[in-house]
A and B are shown apart, each in its own frame.
Chain A
Amino acid sequence: MRGLRLLPGNIEFSFIPYRKIFFVISVLLVFSAIGLYIKNGLNYGIDFKGGILIEIKTIDGPANIKAMRSNLSNLGVGEIGLQEFGAPDEVLIRIQAQEGGEKAQQLAIGEVKKALGGDIEYRRTEFVGPKISDELFWNGVYAVSAAILAILVYIWFRFEWQFGIGAILALVHDVISTIGVFALFRLEFNLSTVAAILTIAGYSINDTVVVFDRVRENLRRYKSLPLSDLLNKSINETLARTIMTSVTTLLALTSLYVLGGEVISGFSFAMIWGVLVGTYSSICLAVPLLLYLKIERHSTSGASKSEEAAAE
């Protein structure tokens, strides 16, 4: 029983010669992401904005969202958002953060529950005060920045600084474009989105490292091959693996997105996008960038470093 080949044995796709096209695409992607962020902003969930979220399920048949909306809008608790959540009998209610401290929030929760009556199942009640939402937001920012920095240091330590720069540029590209997708579709941006972004960072670097590793190996093996050919060769040699791993990860994530339930779907969506863009950026950004970062071809430091690593 011999396995199927996704790609024939000796492929030679041209990646490096088309690098300028990729760069233009990526620059456009990043700038439109930033533009979308400025224009649309992010649809922050209560984790970062503060406020109240109540998920309910009606017991007798589909929910009458219209009636609920008019019923709740008379309470004077400010902006209220209602939406169907996964099934016709499930409704997600969002209430803005209330003026007047933590006590006011508790009062609002009580009012809303009273107005909704007793014939429903309360599946989830969440309230995040302004103090906490601020903290959560900054913790998220710190976490993503710290992750990027730590990964940069690790790559620098294991490879050379040029590789670190290439990897981080690709990584920042992935993170910014993911935020852009959330701005474009007005998807809720919450704590699990930050978790997804961090995981995307890890995954994207994972992909990049595999190709870089091959670049390093080939740098030692082919001393006279032009750098652009060498980079292209390295990408092609690892292409089968890159695609395989992306496919298995996407299989698992698609299953999670379709079957994992409404609460987790935003997370899986971000991850699916992240795997796609992470794979693209490793091949079409991180590696071609090495061409401009002046890798030292005859230095022995990189080689001896990896020899040590292999001996470990």
Chain B
Amino acid sequence: MIMAVCGLGVLFVAPNFLNLKQAEGLPSWLPHKQLNLGLDLQGGSHLLLEVKVDSVLNDGLEALVDTMRTTLRKARIRYNALGIDGFGANVSIKDKAKVQEARELLKSLDNKLEVNVLEDGLIRLEMSEKTVRERRIAAIEQSIEIVRRRIDETGVREPTIQRQGEDRILVQLPGIDDPERVKRLLGKTAKLSFHLVDERQASSELGRVPPGSILLPSLDEVGSDGRPRMYMLKKRVMISGDTLADSQATFQDNQPVVSFRFDSLGGKRFGKATTENVGKLFAIVLDNKVISAPVIREPILGGSGVISGRFTVQGAQDLSLLLRAGALPAPLTILEERSVGPGLGADSIAAGKIASMVGMAMVIAFMIVIYGRFGLMADIALIVNIILIGAALSILQATLTLPGIAGIVLTIGMAVDANVLVFERIREEIRAGRTPISAIDAGYSRAITTIIDANVTTLIAAVLLYQFGSGPVRGFAVTLAIGIITSLFTAIMLTRLMVATWLKKTRPDTLPI
């Protein structure tokens, strides 16, 4: 049994000594999983993003208030004090006789909302806790999906994108040590919309904004005062970017442009809108900035068009990528970034290798000096222990980080402890006058409770470290915990087997310990 475990250990750790190609070429019945190197060793980027979920809920509530306003106006119900309050909206109906009518109308707006009439004709529409939770989850899942699409489009190999906690997304990009482009792409919500330009006052001063219009800055045009040029647009969205089917960066008159194509529904709407507004200006707006505002020369019925701004090639590529991948439901912020270049990672691996080798050589030599033949057996167990740690890490596909290597080096020092306990006990028993065989028996059986007690406490520390730690530190907890378990196995079972075999063969009168 013991030999079988050791044999399997060798088998599972072996693929790590081959290069990737060779390892993948191994027959399928052989283990071929290699160690999973952490980003701090192989180089790469770790980004922790936060989804501003509340802004999604807020957007929804603002839209709700808008529809409440139009609904009540249409029904000619007079109201005041209409506004957002917490996770709901309040409105006060002036004519008490119409409160019931208003209530029915508002109730039909969204069946997920609870509608309550409070005192004095005050009506409150509120999202239930369940709805709030569902919308949060939906927003995060959609964000993860969009993040994944955007990152996939950049061609990063094997990215990890996962939800973390309530409203966070963890992104790991192996091999990317300067994530500037990814950060830039993730920093945009990429909400695209087309608006008609409000030409009533476009040329005069833009101080007052009439109702139904909004004032938005240009993305890159600068006015005479050095500040971004401002556009006044109709608030109503002529057509929004979520109906886009495709987008590509291309060239037009040697200028980089972004072409786009709507899906059939969007194409129809676009055709209708352009037909009705020939000769007018329409603005292409991305994240509340006007990219460009060309004149509609003729109806665009094919459902596709071109955005020409003052793009660089990279800018056009990025924009088309963002449009293809879709808009984020909420803005993302970067809470944490850790990027390691391949140079530092390689140096860390090399330093870790040397440190473990030298540490191991010193421990091995020291054990032989102190315990002679028994020390040699403990050393063999130590080497097997390291092999088993490697095998366990490969099987579990746990991530080996730089602190993880430190954990292994520490294990090298501490793994011999169990053997030291046993050997010292055997020495004591010999001093007490026992024969070799009974001294060894007593040594093992008496030392074992101590060994277990002593190791459980270290294991407790490792488990808590895993629980509360993050990233690389977790890697340390993993190797420490694995090291403790494997060292218990090798130091107790394996050396005992070796000692017993040796005893049977030689039957010594005195122990060389």
Q: Which residues of A contact B (CB under 8 A)?
A: 1-4, 6, 9-10, 55, 57, 101-103, 105-106, 110, 121-129, 131-132, 136, 139-140, 142-143, 146-147, 150-151, 154-155, 158, 191-192, 194-195, 198-199, 201-203, 205-207, 209-210, 213-214, 217, 237-238, 240-241, 244-245, 247-256, 258-261, 263-264, 267-268, 271, 306, 309-310
Contact = CB atoms under 8 A, between A and B. Distances in A.
Contact of A150 (B178, B335, B358, B460): B460
Contacts of B99: none
Main SS of chain B's interface residues?
A: helix
B24 interface: no
Nearest to A310: B449
Contacts of B467: 143, 146
Contacts, number: 252
Given A124-B339, A199-B480, A203-B414, A264 B460 contact: no
B460 to A, nearest CB: 5
B359 A202 contact: no
Interface string B476-495: 11001000000000000000
B315 interface: no
B458 A253 contact: no
Given A192-B473, A202-B457, A310-B445, A128 B464 contact: no
Given A210-B450, A255-B362, 10 more contacts: A10-B431, A125-B338, A147-B465, A198-B465, A199-B410, A206-B457, A241-B421, A251-B362, A260-B405, A264-B405
Given A102-B333, A259-B355, A260-B409, A201 B461 contact: yes
Given A132-B335, A248-B420, A209 B453 contact: yes
Interface in B342-385: 343-344, 347-348, 351-352, 354-356, 358-360, 362-363, 366-367, 369-375
B159 interface: no
Given A122-B178, A139-B470, A259-B358, A210 B421 contact: yes
Given A210-B450, A244-B424, A194 B473 contact: yes
A158 B454 CA distance: 11
A255 B465 contact: no
Contacts of B464: 143, 146-147, 150, 198
Nearest to A2: B512
Contacts of A238: 424
Given A237-B428, A252-B363, A259-B354, A142 B412 contact: no
Nearest to B46: A126
A203 B461 CA distance: 9
A216 to B, nearest CB: 9
Given A213-B453, A251-B363, A244 B420 contact: yes
A195 B473 contact: yes
Query: Which of A10, A192, A248, A310 has the largest count of B CB atoms less than 10 A from its CB?
Result: A248
Contacts of A267: 403, 406
A251 B359 contact: yes
Contacts of B50: 131
Contacts of B370: 3-4, 6, 244
Interface in B216-268: none
A205 B467 CA distance: 20
A55 B347 CA distance: 13
8 contacts: A123-B344, A154-B456, A198-B465, A209-B457, A248-B367, A252-B414, A258-B355, A259-B358
A3 B369 contact: yes
B457 A271 contact: no
B413 interface: yes
B375 A126 contact: no
A2 B513 contact: yes
A92 to B, nearest CB: 11
A89 to B, nearest CB: 11
A194 B464 CA distance: 11
A9 B181 CA distance: 68
B334 interface: yes
B335 A1 contact: no
Contacts of A129: 333-336
